[in-house]
Structure 1
Amino acid sequence: MAGSPALLLLLAMGLCEYGLTEFRDSRLTHPQVGQRLELECVTPKEDSGVFWVRLDKGGTLHFIVFISSLARATFEGNHKTSTHFEAKKVGSSYQLVVKSFTPQDEGNYFCLMNSNQALYFSPRQPAFFPVTTTAAAPTTPTPTTQHGITKKDPCLKTPDPETSKEKELNFFCDIFIWVPLAGTCLLLLTALAVTVILCQQTRRRRCRCKR
């Protein structure tokens, strides 16, 4: 239900303020998603009932429930019950319960009372989700390029012609040493293999002669 400009003006100016509206849990500062939120409105004088309304972020008033002095609740659409709210009266305390708090329930809650042809309303009770702040990602400075200036890498070294000649000489020396040595080893292995074969043949001949 959208609120009239006159009622919004009264709420803004703080006229006809009475009573107290607060969270029943004094430790609660900000409701969470899906949380059961209990609000309480205490009236210090005789009344004929209390209206619970919510002022959303856009400045629109929404009627929630009317609780009579006989503790009878009438929700929006003249319904006696609600799937989203609960309402009851205990002594001089009018209580409103949001069964599962959602983003659509955020706003400032008031209880209104009509007494002796005068409109009274309680101080507002804000009910908003806690503000989450995201840390900004650190920005890395972009490297600046300088044109016309070339730097030499200290790790890059030009080859020394003397060292290259020395490496070539060492390579040829290795060839002259290792090639003959490898050939000699090969000849020795061949001679050893031939000797083993001849020894086996002579043993077989001797064994046949004895028989």
Structure 2
Amino acid sequence: MDQKWILVILVFCQKMTSGAGEDKTVKEGQLVEINCALQEKGSLVIWFRLLDTSGMEFIASFSNNGMPKYVTNSFSKTFSESRIQQDVLILRSFNTISDSGVYNCASLKGNELKFGIATRLVMEKVEVAVDKASQATNLNICTTATPCVCNKQGETSPQMFCTPIILGPLAGGCGLLLLLLIITAVYCNQIRTRRCPHHYKRKPRVEAPGKQMMTNRHV
């Protein structure tokens, strides 16, 4: 390889790794115009690109009047030189895997290289469209669900008031009935054990008719 090509590659790589240039967001399959914007042209204009996947790659070289000096075999399929005199290289169809990277050109004037502004081709991020109808349905499902209500510490539930109000009278009524039952049982027991005089009064003895007649005879 000629020394001047080695020099071009080394200087180009140094310039690309320094972060100089501008980013250009493109879509898959899009035609892309890459502007090099050389300030001064020499006897030769050389195009390179530093790909994200395969590294450094020579594209083509042109004379200062736009005539091709040397191009790769796949140049005509990948690029167009219709605006090369305007320092614009056209990428026919952008491919994310094979075309993502930094593009630049350099003007060779004597032993001096002057680079244009580098351009980095970046794949445009495609946002996934969300169906608004399904999103609204999911939102309604989430919002209409019965929430779990938990009593916070320090808060009093209405059920705590209702329970004593209902159970209190019931407990009092049961207690009153039990007390009446006990009193009735004690009272009845006293009545049974009490001896009333009319219950134990001696009745007159009835004698047999035969004995009564004998008594009358003696008289």
Could you say which structure has the higher helix fraction? Answer: 2
Q: Which has the larger radius of gyration?
A: 2
